[in-house]
Amino acid sequence: MKNSVLITLLILFVACQSLIAVQKVHLWHTMEPNKRPLLAEVVDQFMQDNPDIEVILLSKNVEELRTGYQAAAAFTGGGPELVYGPMDQIGPFEVMKLKNSDKSIIMPLEEVFPEEFFEKFTPNGLIRYKGHLYMIADRIGNHLALPYNKRLFDEEGIPGPPQTIEELIEYGQKLTKDTDGDGNIDQWGLVWNYTEPFWYIPFFGGYGGKVFDENGKPELGSQAAADAFRLIKDMRDEYKIMPPECDYDIADNMFNQGNAGMIINGDWSWQKYMNSPEVDFGLAKMPYVQAAGHWCSPMVSATGYSINSNTKPEVMEATKKLLAWLTGEEVQKRFASEFKSIPSIKTLYNDPEFTNDPIVKTSAAQIEAGQLMPIVPEMRAAWDAMRPALQSVVGGNMTPEEAAAYQQKLCVQKINDMYEVAGEGSGSSITKYIIYIVGIALGLYLTYLLIFKFILALLRNPYTMDSRNARFAILISIPAAIVMFGVVVYPFFYNIVLSFSNMNMTNVNSWEVIGVEQYGKVLWDFDMSFADYRSSLGDNSGVVIFDYLKYFFSHHKFITVFIKTLIWTIVNVFFHVTLGVMLAMLMNRKLPGKSIFRVLLILPWAVPQYIVALTWRGMFISDTGAINLILGHLGIAPVSWLSEPTMAFMAAIITNIWLGFPFMMVIALGGLQSIPKELYEAAEIDGASSWKQFWNVTVPLLKPVMVPAITLGTVWTFNNLNVLWLVTNGGQPADHSHILVTYVYRAAFNLYRYGYAAAFSVLIFIFLAIFGLTFMNRSQVAEKA
């Protein structure tokens, strides 16, 4: 008996020992779904060889990994030990500093590994930035090239892939055709994601363009930029070798189904095409631009591993071991042979298995012609500037030259926004103190309210009935109050403080309160100057004051987005309520099968928003989406829902109306059922028409039920980020489809303008609070009286 206890204790002891000995290494990575099984396999192998190390994998997409890692590492001093992702994330990671330190959130690797460790890697596999080595790549590439379908090429008798732009167009025209004779083109020459700047860069480079000059200043307004825009537009509109609307999924799907001759797509996608039964895969280098004398040059980047600066010393060895394994020869070879990726280990370049593989050969040649992805954080601004310009050209709203000038201007402006230096004026220290004083005064006032109006009020006459009732009421609302205030209060005040601060990506741990400058930026910010606007009017300019008004409402950033938000909210809520009430009235009649209909009509409410939003986006795609197909059957011309600003906005509104009407219907139905039938009977006897009955009986009695629902619905719609974001894919086209909340989201999480975004949010909040309270008060005065 005693023995068994001893043994149990011993086992427990040993178990504890081994538990302590196991070191956990977290790895966050951005690998595509098709690469994840192999990663899991090599990690398993690593854990078998190192039983004392446990590796925990977490996959995220690039954006989520970047923001998630920054939140964890910079704001809380934690996060995973290893991060894996594209090399351009090094820029934003380097800028962000740890708490109370000038160290970046990722570690310079030369400090933790011996010199010899780096020798086996090719130079472009070692990612340096500002003099430090921050990342070891496990593969070079992530570059676009030109996969083509040999089967379709053979059918048209085309000898091989195009070498020049002229051949690309010629072959493209041969491959574009209507195979089943129904008047619709169902095989395209070339498909690609031509509204994303990543796909525009190769042509830009082909005409000799560079994103940044030698001094790191953006150079997006060049002739090359305009020429590349023109080529893209002409390929679609003039030579008609590409579908009228095309995003990544459409292009990928068409090529994979054998419905397109060529696709411009990256090395991550090739394996899928090789396995597709519809595709006889061939890979070609992107063509030569004779007019400029360059090859098209896609961005080449590396993806690799970095170490978190917060890594605890006791897991450092394990982390290094894992990094060494994952970037080592054995693992790289397996990835390279399965996915045809280009490794970063020197010796593998002599391996005949790779050197003789035609796909690897072409891929390497394409890398040779490519340009290295700039690591600087400014690149984010460049992408964000090119996107709207490209989409404006494609949507026909700008000429190539206008777009080139526009993207240059936008890029400069966005870089300034990112590095905005705020709060260095002489007045700012005074405003700063004023803010402190106001803050303290407010705090004192709240304390006063709490003590005198709340606690003392409760203690006064403690034995009266009223007082007992009040204590009981407070007692039973305390649990809810604790949960809500516990969660809401800190974030709320954090944001208010932030809105008076200069926080941006360079000072996440050293920001200070500077005053009302961020509010000033929100309230007085135009996307062009008045002088520019007037000169753009040319002969049409009139009286200064009218011009100024026009300018104010079309170029003031906050106002223009605000107007869109109002339209968004009003249209949505209007249809929610009218459709809801109409259907409720129909449902309130005698209608066989009513209960089934009711459940079916509630369906949009029951399905998760983010899922249906994506489904609706799929249905709006102009070429294969259900909406245009149905319109086609009804004899209506197809609408390009997603590439025209107004249409994209409308698509999002339609989706949101669909999502929201069931809620209002149910509320209205509840209200209708509580209206006594006698009232209608009495009205009928008085000879009131149904229309009169509706206005004089239904509406007034429905009002008290609907007003709170409408208030709440308005607030929810106003602040609904999900639907618009998902349907328009983050404000596309050209950042035209924004409402205030999506705009804030972009400012905060894409450009790291935390202070600005917080000020923006506070203003949204104030507006909604004023609206909500007035609306409720006004509509309830009558009811109470």
Partner 1 sequence: MNKFKKTMTAIIVYAIVLLFVVIAVYPVMRILTISLRPGDNLLNRSLAIIPQDATFDNYVRLFTEKPFLLWIRNSLMISITVTVIGVAFASLAGYAFSRYRFPGRKAGLLSLLITQMFPATMLLLPLFIMLSKLNLINSFLGLIIMYSATALPFSIWLMKGYYDTIPFSLEESAMVDGAGRFYSFWKIIMPLAAPALVITALFSFMAAWNEYIVAAQVLWYEEMFTIPLGLKSLQGNMTTEWGMYAAGSLLISIPVVALFLFLSRWLVSGLTLGSVKG
The interface with partner 1 within residues 680-719 (CB under 8 A) comprises 704-705, 707-709, 711-712, 715-716, 719
Q: Which of 181, 183, 313, 479 binds partner 1 (CB under 8 A)?
A: 479
Q: How far apart are CA 776 and CA 710, in angstroms?
A: 9
By CB under 8 A, tell whether 621 contacts partner 1: yes
Q: Which of 609, 608, 522, 561 is nearest to 741 (CA)?
A: 561
Q: Which of 480, 485, 580, 519 is nearest to 762 (CA)?
A: 519
Angle ∠(653,658,662) on CA atoms, nearest 5: 135
Task: Please give the Cα distance from 208 to 105 (Å, whole number).
Answer: 36
Residue 61 in the binding site for partner 1 (CB under 8 A): yes
101 vs 477, beta carbon nearer partner 1: 477
745 binds partner 1 (CB under 8 A): yes
Single out the residue of 10, 21, 56, 438 in contact with partner 1 (rule: CB under 8 A): 56
The DSSP bridge pattern shows strands 144-149 and 265-266 to be antiparallel
Q: For residues 182 and 539, which CB has a smaller minimum distance to partner 1 in the complex?
A: 182
Find out whether 147 and 270 touch, Cβ atoms under 8 Å.
yes
Touching partner 1, residues 196-215 (CB under 8 A): none
> Which listed range, 225-233, 538-546, 642-650, 744-752, lies at the site for partner 1 (CB under 8 A)?
744-752
By C-beta, is 480 or 545 nearer to partner 1?
Answer: 480
583: its two tokens: 């259907």
Query: Rounded to the nearest 5°, which phi and psi values hold at 95?
Result: -65, -35
Q: Alpha-carbon torsion 365, 368, 370, 374, what sign?
A: positive
Task: Based on the shown chain and the rule CB under 8 A, indicate whether residue 458 belongs to the binding site for partner 1.
Answer: yes
Q: Does 488 bind partner 1 (CB under 8 A)?
A: yes
State the nearest-atom distance from the C-beta of 59 to partner 1, in Å.
6
Distance in angstroms (rounded) separating the CA atoms of residues 530 and 555: 9
Q: Is 216 in the site for partner 1 (CB under 8 A)?
A: no
Residues numbered 553 to 592 that lie near partner 1 (CB under 8 A) are: 579, 582-583, 586-587, 589, 591
Residue 457 sits in the site that holds partner 1 (CB under 8 A): yes
55 binds partner 1 (CB under 8 A): no
Q: Supply the minimum distance, in Å, between the C-beta of residue 98 and partner 1.
A: 14
**Rounded to whole angstroms, what are the CA distances from 87 to 33, 83, 138, 528, 588?**
19, 11, 11, 34, 61
Give the nearer residue to partner 1 in terms of CB position, either 353 or 783. Answer: 783
With CB under 8 A as the rule, give the number of residues binding partner 1.
132
Shortest separation between residue 56's beta carbon and partner 1, angstroms: 6
- By CB under 8 A, what part of segment 320-379 binds partner 1? none
Which residue's CB is nearer to partner 1, number 34 or number 45?
34
Q: What residues from 231 to 260 belong to the interface with partner 1 (CB under 8 A)?
A: 248-250, 252-254, 257
Per DSSP bridges, beta strands 288-289 and 294-295 are antiparallel
Q: Is 372 helix (H, G, I), strand (E, B) or coil?
A: strand
Residue in 43, 126, 224, 612 binding partner 1, rule: CB under 8 A: 612
SS (H, E, C) 699-767: HHHHHHHHHHHHHHHHHHHHCCCHHHHHHCCCCCCCCCCCCHHHHHHHHHHCCCCHHHHHHHHHHHHHH
Which residue has 């994998």 as its token pair?
57
- Estimate to the nearest angstrom the gap between the alpha carbon of 311 and the chain centroid: 29
Which residue has 């167009």 as its token pair?
A: 169
Q: How far is the CB of 573 from partner 1 (least distance, A)?
A: 14
Binding to partner 1 by CB under 8 A, coded x per residue (else -) over 77-116, reads -x-x------------------------------------
Among 14, 611, 682, 699, which residue interacts with partner 1 (rule: CB under 8 A)? Answer: 611
**Residue 776 contacts residue 707 (beta carbons within 8 Å):** yes
Q: Does 22 bind partner 1 (CB under 8 A)?
A: no
What's the farthest any 2 CA atoms get from each other in the chain? 104
Q: Choose between 345 and 659: whose C-beta lies nearer to partner 1.
A: 659
Residue partners of 108: CB distance under 8 A and separation at least 6: 132, 133, 134
Binding mask 636-675 for partner 1 (x = CB under 8 A): ----------------------x---x---xx-xx--x--
Least Å distance, CB 767 to partner 1, is 9
In the complex with partner 1, the residue whose CB is nearer, 148 or 754, is: 754
Under rule CB under 8 A, residue 144 binds partner 1: no
Smallest gap, in angstroms, from Cβ of residue 121 to partner 1?
24
DSSP 269: T
Q: Which of 173, 337, 541, 615 binds partner 1 (CB under 8 A)?
A: 615
| 424 is a contact residue toward partner 1 (CB under 8 A) | no
Tell me the window of 533-541, 559-567, 604-612, 642-650 that interacts with partner 1 (CB under 8 A): 604-612
Straight-line distance from the first to the last Cα atom of the chain, in angstroms, rounded to the nearest whole number: 82
